[in-house]
Amino acid sequence: MPRLGPLPPPERRRRSDVVATVGIVVVLAVAVTVLWVTSRVADTASAPAATPVPLPPPVSDVPAAFVEAWRAPSGATKTPVVAGPVVVTGEDGTVAGRDVATGEVRWSYARDLPLCTVGSGFPDVDRGLGRALALYRNDDWCSELVSLRPDTGARDRARNPDVRPGTRLLETGSLVTATGSNYLEVFRSDLVETVEYGDVPTPRQVGRQPRPTCRSTGFAATGGRLAVLQNCPGERTERLTVVDPDGAEADKPQEQFSVQLSVADATLVAVSEDRVAVALPDPPRLELRDGQGATIESVVLDVPAPDLDRRPPGGVATVTRDGDRTYWWTGSHTVALDRVDLTPRWTLPNTLGPAVSYAGALLVPVADGLAIVDGRSGEVVEKRRVDRGSADVPVVPAVLGDVLVEQRGPELVALRPA
C-alpha cells in the first residue's frame, strides 16, 4: 500500500483577508440599510387599533332632529366609505378608520404617495367585515393597492394594478372593479385579478382583447355582470358591453353582449341580474335592455334635459341601493328604479343626492335638510332640518348605526340624533 505524503500546512488567515471580509460585510449592511430606507416600506406609517373596533348597534327610529357630530376632510372618496364598524376617510396619503359616533381616528395607514381613491369590498370576508381598500398613485399610474382590516386597520394584502388617475373602486360582493377610460381590471378578495379589459399595458398574449382602442365613458356593476359604455373608432354612438367579471381567463374577457346604442351621449345608470339601464338625451328617457342587449322599453324621464348633458364623475352614476330600489341622482332629481327590472317607480325633484334607508324610512337630502319619503310612492311625508351652510355641492348619504354620514364634495360630515 503506497504511503501518503505529508499533509499541507493549514491555511493561515492573513490580516488583509480579515480586513477585506469586514469591508464586504459593512458594504452589504450599508446597502441593505439604504434599500430599506429608500423603499416604500420605509415610507409607510401604520397605526392599527389596539383592540378591534366593535360594530355599533343598529338604528331603531328616525329621530326628531339631527345635529352635526363631526366632520373630516376626505378628498379621496366620492361617496361615504363604510367598512365594517368604521367610516373610512382618505386625504393626501392617509387613510383613517373613524369612530362613527365621534370621528375619532381608531386606526390609520399613511404613505408618502397621493391617494387615487379609497373604497371597500368583500363584505363576506372575515365575519362579514370585508376590507377597506386604499389605492395610491405612483408616477402616472394608480398602481399600489392595499387592503386593510376595517376593525383594526391591519394591513392584509397588496397588489399592483395598472389603472390611471380618475379610477373608481366599484364593489360587487366578492369582486371589486378598478375603472379606467382605457383599461379596467377586476379582482377578488385575495386581490388576484379575475378580468382585465381594454388596452392592457403589458399583455401576456396579443389579440385577447375585443376592442382595445375604445375609450370607456361609463361603468356599472353587480354580482356576475360588469357593464361598460364605450366610444369606439368609426362608431357614431356609444357601445354598451356587458362582461363576465369572473371569467375563465383573466386576460380574455367573456362578453355577454356588445351592442351599439341608438343615439349618442348616453349615460350608463345601473345594471341588474338581467337588465341594463341607460339614460338617453333629447328627450330625457331611460332605455332598458335585456340580458342579450335587446331594448325592452324606453321610459320618458321627468328630469331637466341639462342633467343628462353632464357626465357623472369618473363615468359612475351617483346611485345608492336598498333591498327594493336603486336610487339614482341625476344632478337635480332623485329617481327610484326597481331593484330587479330597473323600471322607474317615482321621481323626486329638487334634491341634492340619492336616497338612503334609515330605520326603515327613506331619507333624501334636500336644500333645507332631509326629506322623509314614502318608498312606494315617492311622496314626501316629513322633513328634518339640517343646516349645511352655504355649501353648494352634491350630498351622498350612508348610514352606520344611528349616524347618517354625508359626503359633501371633498368633506365627510356625520349627523347624529339630537
Q: Is the pLDDT of residue 42 over 70?
A: no
- Mean predicted confidence (pLDDT) in 158-169: 96
Checking DSSP bridges between strand 411-417 and strand 66-73, what pairing results, if any?
A: antiparallel
Nearest to 92 by CA among 69, 70, 116, 71: 116
Q: Is 273 helix (H, G, I), strand (E, B) or coil?
A: coil
Q: Percentage of residues in the chain with pLDDT exceeding 90? A: 85
State how far the alpha carbon of 317 is from the alpha carbons of 192, 267, 278, 299, 375, in Å: 26, 8, 10, 18, 21
Beta bridge partner(s), residue 222: 225
Q: Is the pLDDT of residue 12 over 60?
A: no
What is the tens place of the pLDDT at every residue in 78-108?
999 999 999 999 999 999 999 999 999 999 9
pLDDT value of residue 1: 45
Residues in the chain: 418
Contact between 256 and 242 under an 8 Å Cβ cutoff? The reply is: yes
Rounded to 5 degrees, φ, ψ at 122 are 55, 55
C-alpha neighbours within 13 Å on the C-beta side of residue 248: 3
pLDDT value of residue 202: 87
The pLDDT-based confidence of 47 (bands split at 50, 70, 90) is very high
The pLDDT-based confidence of 22 (bands split at 50, 70, 90) is very low
Mean pLDDT, the chain, rounded, equals 91
Nearest to 337 by CA among 273, 290, 383, 272: 272
In order of start, what are the domains of the chain with their CATH numbers? 53-417 (2.130.10.10)
In this structure, the dihedral spanned by the alpha carbons of residues 351, 353, 358 and 360, taken in order and rounded to 10 degrees, is 60
What is the tens place of the pLDDT at every residue in 257-308?
999 999 999 999 999 999 999 999 999 999 999 999 999 999 999 999 999 9
The pLDDT-based confidence of 392 (bands split at 50, 70, 90) is confident
Sign of CA dihedral 301, 305, 306, 312: positive
What's 190's DSSP letter?
T
The residue assigned the cell 368609426 is: 234
Q: Is the pLDDT of residue 28 over 60?
A: no
Beta bridge partner(s), residue 24: none
In this structure, the dihedral spanned by the alpha carbons of residues 73, 315, 281 and 362, taken in order and rounded to 10 degrees, is -50
Q: Percentage of residues in the chain with pLDDT exceeding 70? A: 90
* Rounded-to-integer distance, Cα 362 and Cα 384, Å: 12
Assess whether the previous peptide bond of 283 is cis (omega < 30° from 0). yes
Q: How far is CA 82 from the centre of its chain?
A: 11
Retrieve residue 258's grid coordinates.
356588445
* Rounded-to-integer distance, Cα 416 and Cα 90, Å: 21
Q: Is the pLDDT of residue 129 over 50?
A: yes
The residue assigned the cell 354620514 is: 405
The residue assigned the cell 365621534 is: 102
Concatenating the DSSP letter of every residue in 126-138 gives TTTT-EEEEEEEE
Measured between alpha carbons, how far apart are the two ends of the chain, in Å? 105
pLDDT value of residue 18: 42
Retrieve residue 229's grid coordinates.
359604455
Rounded to two decimals, the pTM is 0.89
C-alpha neighbours within 13 Å on the C-beta side of residue 388: 23
- Mean predicted confidence (pLDDT) in 352-370: 97
Retrieve residue 327's grid coordinates.
336610487
What is the tens place of the pLDDT at every residue in 231-248?
999 999 999 999 999 989
